[in-house]
A and B are shown apart, each in its own frame.
Chain A
């Protein structure tokens, strides 16, 4: 039996550009509560997303993966909107840069005298880790 899935409108927006604007059948994102998948006809929904992988199902049935930074996901009547501080497709990720950022953040976290920077370093570390995990799978 072939299951025909409905598609819905997906928009992924970052401050720098509209990262993705089109139809999809399913996406998976990482939220503060764990990974969730969104199919068509989802109820209205808003949640925070954390830095992590994003998978978008394409027309061919294959998933395209991207690394997202923290943001929000919003399901409304018009479709699904993902807002993220940054977004990169897996093949666009600069692994070297991510490794450097990870190292830098870890150094700050290891240094007790810089406790006031911990919050920011943690965010940066998470972003770097998301990029590395997505980027490595594709390189």
Chain B
């Protein structure tokens, strides 16, 4: 085996993870990204900034989130012990808020009074609207018209929080188009606006700073595993859309060679059908939304529509650090389809009394296959990245129930 890379040295000064990442944006945004990077590099080692961040995570988000041993489910599967990292218990119901707290603090330090965000399922939009309300910032959330229709409850939640939800009618009217529109807004209002990107994608320094803010998940899980299981876990499992919850869990364990990692993409109707959202499993490297990464594209390099029961995984790209971790073989990227995710959703709800988000259910679906192949003395940590309340209407619709 080749020598282990120094994971902490990535991205490099120009935001590259190997051949991935970088800063592929129009010239107007280059100065704003430089400004953000300079500010972030200064603040990330500033004890006062870190203390503010930690305090908000403790008292506003409710961290640390528990590491919960799913005993009944473990017994039922008959293999490795399954531990759930309970990001679903965070304020606003998912891991997304870890990042919006951090970026809102940055916005405050940079004196920006207006924040914008893109959202797919609405979780990042809600988490952005939440921190904006708390800091008294003006907040605009871009959301595809199609997603607005699918996620009415989250749209209303954002409005109650005082955010302006802007329907995006271009392209496929989903998350990728919302991100395009947020970029267009940012170019236009770059002087007074902070763009809160919701995942570990986008131009440098976003993949780096979102990862750093989300790494609290893995740092806690590592300590909790040592304290509760008496050892490091043998495997980590997390779902990957853009990949922020996965990188947050994985990153603090990258140097622990004995910890296997599985990133689970959305296979939709099945990777072989072409109707999926699994660029790492079935895509090609390309450039979108400011970074080079694996993408779902046609033969002419046009981005194609994705399919998944979970709106939060319905994205044709993925964070560049994942693309790199795939190429160097440190993380295994696999996929779970809609049917498997729904089965895991139902099973964990019934056996553990925990209703996972459909995104997180993809990770659970893979853990369900992995656990029986491992011994009973082994430990798996699954990132339960969000709660399933927002998905109840989707599942009801599949069951033929309309409210």
- Are A and B interaction partners? no
Q: Which residues of A contact B (CB under 8 A)?
A: none
